[in-house]
A and B are shown apart, each in its own frame.
Chain A
Amino acid sequence: MSASNRIVPNEKGTAPLDVVIAVMAFLAALALGASLVAERAASGWSEGLAGKLTVQILPPSHGAARQGLERETAAALAVLRTTPGIAHAAPLSQADQLKLVQPWLGAGNLVSDLPLPQLIDADIAPGSAVDVRALAQRVKQAAPDSILDDHSHWIGRLRDLAHTLLWSAYGVLFLIAVATAATVSFATRAGLETHSEMVALLRQMGARAGFIANAFEWHYFRAAVTAAAMGAAGAAAVFLAAGGLEVAGVEAVPFLPPLALKPIELVWLLTVPAAAGLIALATARLSVLAALKQIH
């Protein structure tokens, strides 16, 4: 249908509806983007830490601390290196360990004098199944001051956090969809009221309810897609700006994953105007059909 022969005219005074849909779409696109970031973070954290083991040897509380630490480190390394499925095991250098605490304690002699534990990084060979609990017991026997961590607890908590964020985003998207439907339903009924004479004329000419609903649904479909596209574009600009900050070295919040969306993820934001259009289409149709049922 060309713009010139649309049965329902473009109305003046519908700007508030457009603004509401644009804002809804902006929020929906932010929620969708957040869900993508959360999903990416969850898989990234899992992949990054999966297959890694860390053994922490606390400075022994008895005997000569330094010698005890070195002896227990060697014993733990021996156990790890002789365990089938462990591809690599190596202690972290003093410099690497200092780097790890630097963000909290800073640099300097004071830090290097602290009795830091010795850390050992170990990698599980891909595809290998290692009984971590049994390994932890053997390492503990060889090095009584050791703690073996396979990061499962940390990974689990991060994954839970990411999934919570993900489902929160889905919940927000659902609520926005409901609010959009309610807004369009209200606008459609107002539109029917505004165009009541036109609706009466169409019925007089023998138009079925479906024909009239069709005229209204495409009217609100176009309005919703246009407004939602503007909202989604605004959200895309926010994610692009976040990416720009990261490129400039400004971290939004430490420990959080990068908030910028990849180009392929930005494409997902196009689903927001599409979904808004479909919601408007369905809602307008159902609203018109329900309203027309009440007329002779």
Chain B
Amino acid sequence: MVRFENVGMRYGAGPEVLRDVTFVLEAGSFTFLTGLSGAGKTTLLKLISIAEPPSRGLITLFGRDLATAKPSALPALRRRIGVVFQDFRLLDHLSVFDNVALPLRIAGRREPEYAHDVEELLAWVKLGDRMSAKPPTLSGGEQQRVAIARAVVAKPDLLIADEPTGNVDPEIGARLIRLFAELNRLGTTVLIATHDRTLVERARAREMRLVDGRLVELRMPRP
């Protein structure tokens, strides 16, 4: 599903924020990416989500080498990835419903086709009564749930989330992790960047740890 080989990344002429990163995410796996702030977690997620090209190394996604993929092939690859951003990146002028429906509109589906799916998903993340609300009127936790609903609505092959439980209470956090686990059970590969140790310990999933831009630890789940 995802293969990194000796990947390095630097912004402009700055220092390398990722160095010689090598790993494989198997299809259907559930993985945590941990590390302190500034360790390079967000940069790694950007590379996986094809938001940035690497400075060096090889990235293979869904069997395609990104270095040789034509620019016209990238949108289709990106549509197979759901991303939960740390800062949510909701469109403030759109309603909760329209924010969540955005990936489906991009995929070319029309409202009558997706309205039921979106409503059902919003009910699941306990936002069924806020569908018409605009993001600025929501709490941080509610905005995060909208961002997560938007990331999973198109049933992506790969879901990556940057600190998805950072702004929600423990109950909602556990519920969201259950949602990710359910998606994983249905075949979605999940990668979650977090520094919430409790979450990682409780989930008993594979953990990749970044320290100063290097992947130093690959811990497999305990049996």
Contacts and interface: CB of A to CB of B under 8 A. Distances in A.
A291 to B, nearest CB: 14
A198 B94 CA distance: 12
Interface in B65-110: 71, 75-81, 83, 89, 91-95, 98, 102-103, 106-107
A95 interface: no
A296 B77 CA distance: 14
Contacts of B78: 203-206
Given A203-B78, A296-B53, A9 B93 contact: yes
A129 interface: no
Given A5-B98, A201-B91, A206 B52 contact: no
A203 B52 CA distance: 11
Interface string A1-19: 0001111010000000000
Given A5-B94, A5-B95, A206 B79 contact: yes
A296 B70 CA distance: 11
Contacts of B102: 7, 202, 205
B51 interface: yes
Contact of B103 (A5, A6, A206): A206
Interface in B31-83: 49, 51-53, 71, 75-81, 83
Interface residues of A, number: 18
Nearest to B99: A5
A54 B53 CA distance: 85
B76 A206 contact: yes
Contacts, number: 48
A205 B147 CA distance: 12
A202 B83 contact: no
Contact of A197 (B77, B79, B89): B89
B107 A206 contact: yes
Interface residues of B, number: 24
Nearest to A202: B106
A206 B95 contact: no
Given A206-B76, A206-B78, A211 B106 contact: yes
A204 B78 CA distance: 6
A101 interface: no
A133 interface: no
A4 B107 contact: no
A4 B75 contact: no
A43 B49 CA distance: 67
Nearest to A208: B75
A241 interface: no
A204 B94 contact: no
Contacts of B76: 206
Contacts of B79: 205-206
A44 B107 CA distance: 58
Contacts of A202: 102, 106
A207 interface: yes
Nearest to B82: A205
A7 B102 CA distance: 9
B75 A206 contact: yes
A288 to B, nearest CB: 15
Contacts of B95: 4-5
B51 A204 contact: yes
Which of A6, A9, A205, A206 gathers the greatest number of chain B CB atoms within 10 Å? A205
A201 B49 CA distance: 11
B94 to A, nearest CB: 6
A33 to B, nearest CB: 39
A206 B81 CA distance: 8
Contacts of A5: 94-95, 98
Interface in B138-186: none
A282 B207 CA distance: 50
Contacts of B103: 205-206
Contacts of A205: 78-79, 83, 102-103, 106
A120 B95 CA distance: 81
Contacts of A207: 75, 106
Contact of B91 (A7, A204, A208): A7
Contacts of B52: 296
Which 7 residue pairs across A and B have the least CB separation, nearest first? A206-B79, A206-B78, A9-B93, A5-B98, A207-B106, A206-B75, A208-B75
Given A197-B89, A206-B76, A206-B78, 15 more contacts: A4-B95, A4-B98, A5-B94, A6-B93, A7-B102, A9-B91, A201-B89, A202-B102, A204-B51, A204-B78, A205-B102, A206-B79, A207-B75, A207-B106, A211-B106
15 contacts: A7-B91, A7-B102, A197-B89, A198-B91, A200-B51, A202-B106, A203-B75, A204-B49, A204-B51, A206-B75, A206-B76, A206-B77, A206-B80, A296-B52, A296-B53
Interface of B: 49, 51-53, 71, 75-81, 83, 89, 91-95, 98, 102-103, 106-107
